[in-house]
Amino acid sequence: MNQSELLDMIGRAVGAVRAVSDQPWRVLVVLGSGLGSLADEVSGAIRIPFHDIPGFARSTAPGHGGRFVIGDLFGLPVAIMQGRVHFYEGYPLWQVTLPVRVARAMGAHTMIVTNAAGGINRAFNAGDVMLITDHINLLGLTGANPLIGPNVDSLGARFPNMINAYDPDLRQQAAEVARHEGIDLKEGVYAGLSGPTFETPAEVRFLRAIGADAVGMSTVNEVVVARHAGMRVLGLSGITNVARLSADEGEPPSHEEVLQAGKVIAPKMLAIIRGALKRMTTRQS
Ligand code: HPA
């Protein structure tokens, strides 16, 4: 994919979105497994299935819808991404991250990204929500970064820095909302892997040793592209299972377990997102 092909791809996708709704976006909300219900609260909702947008991949993962829901949420023009695609589904990283680039082109300056993750920090339990303070992009560190290839200067700088990739002010806002709502919000570092295999116990011990508190199969690529584009990012992980440090530590993780824990996590995560959006509305006015 060269620069003009990428710009053309973004342009055609934006054109398809604008043909349905020309309303500018302020915030992109990426909903992970089992969190689709926030989209029900959008007023004047317009739904655009990903299969109507040129270049968009279709999600094959269970629990992922595959559409934008555009409208107003607590007074802010938002686009909710119901269902994301993952690298493990076989799509190239430019395609995994295309929705973020479209969101930026539609005017979004902030991305709230959520995911399901395995807990590595032993203070975490299944059902917890973790505020992402930083990430370890294991795909990127091993040569699969979505920004590899010719840089498009009109989208962002060649060497974007990833310090405070998760916006300190938004983190503070989220922590205050959680406190106010009586939610025990954990904090930590998210390690992003490709999946689709869950980790071996040796890999979990490795991840713990390098400073990861949680592990998952998404998010880092979207965050890299959002930061490249100058967007502010708030990241939240739902801890759906405790990652095993040894083979005899308990039941192995399963996708069912992930979806089940999502039911406990969803109300907390949604309360934090709701509070964060409300604060953004208040602050902008
Ligand atoms: N590992 C990787 N990804 C995950 C996990 C896990 O244990 N749980 C939910 N997503």
DSSP per-residue string spanning 226-279: HHHTT-EEEEEEEEEEEPPSSTTSSSPP-HHHHHHHHHHHHHHHHHHHHHHHHH
Whether the Cβ atoms of residue 102 and residue 13 lie closer than 8 Å to each other: yes
Q: Cα(193)–Cα(87) distance, rounded to whole angstroms?
A: 9
Residue 1 annotated among the catalytic residues of the structure: no
Residue 285 pLDDT level (bands cut at 50, 70, 90): very low
What's the mean per-residue pLDDT of the chain?
92
Residue 241 annotated among the catalytic residues of the structure: yes
Catalytic residue among 79, 81, 111, 116: 116
Q: Is pLDDT larger for residue 60 or for residue 236?
A: 236
Which distant-in-sequence residues (6+ apart) come within 8 Å of 181 by Cβ? 268, 271, 272, 275
Q: Which two tokens stand for residue 71?
A: 């409208």
Count CA atoms closer than 13 A to 45's CA, side-chain side.
18
Q: Cα(81)–Cα(138) distance, rounded to whole angstroms?
A: 24
Count CA atoms closer than 13 A to 273's CA, side-chain side.
35
Q: What is the predicted pLDDT for the residue at 100?
A: 97
Residue 62 pLDDT level (bands cut at 50, 70, 90): low
Residue 154 annotated among the catalytic residues of the structure: no
| Residue pLDDT, tens place only, 145-179 | 999 999 999 999 999 999 999 999 999 999 999 99
Residue 218 annotated among the catalytic residues of the structure: yes
| pTM of the predicted structure, to 2 decimals | 0.94
Q: Which residues contact ligand 1 via a Cβ below 6 A?
A: 116-118, 198-199, 215-217, 240-241, 243, 253, 258
Task: Give me ligand 1 centre to Cα 221, in Å.
Answer: 16
SS3 call for 180: helix
- Closest ligand 1 atom to Cα of 258: 9
Whether the Cβ atoms of residue 228 and residue 147 lie closer than 8 Å to each other: yes
49-77 average pLDDT score: 83
Longest CA span, the chain = 55
Take atom 9 of ligand 1 and give the residue whose Cα is closest.
117
Q: Please name the amino acid found at residue 202.
A: A
Q: Cα(116)–Cα(118) distance, rounded to whole angstroms?
A: 7
CATH of domain 3-284: 3.40.50.1580
CA of residue 4 relative to chain centroid, distance: 26
DSSP 134: E
Pocket test for ligand 1, best of 217, 219, 265 (most atoms within 8 A of CB): 217
200-206 average pLDDT score: 96
Q: What is the predicted pLDDT for the residue at 284?
A: 59
Task: Give me ligand 1 centre to Cα 69, in Å.
Answer: 26
Residue 180 annotated among the catalytic residues of the structure: no
67-83 average pLDDT score: 91
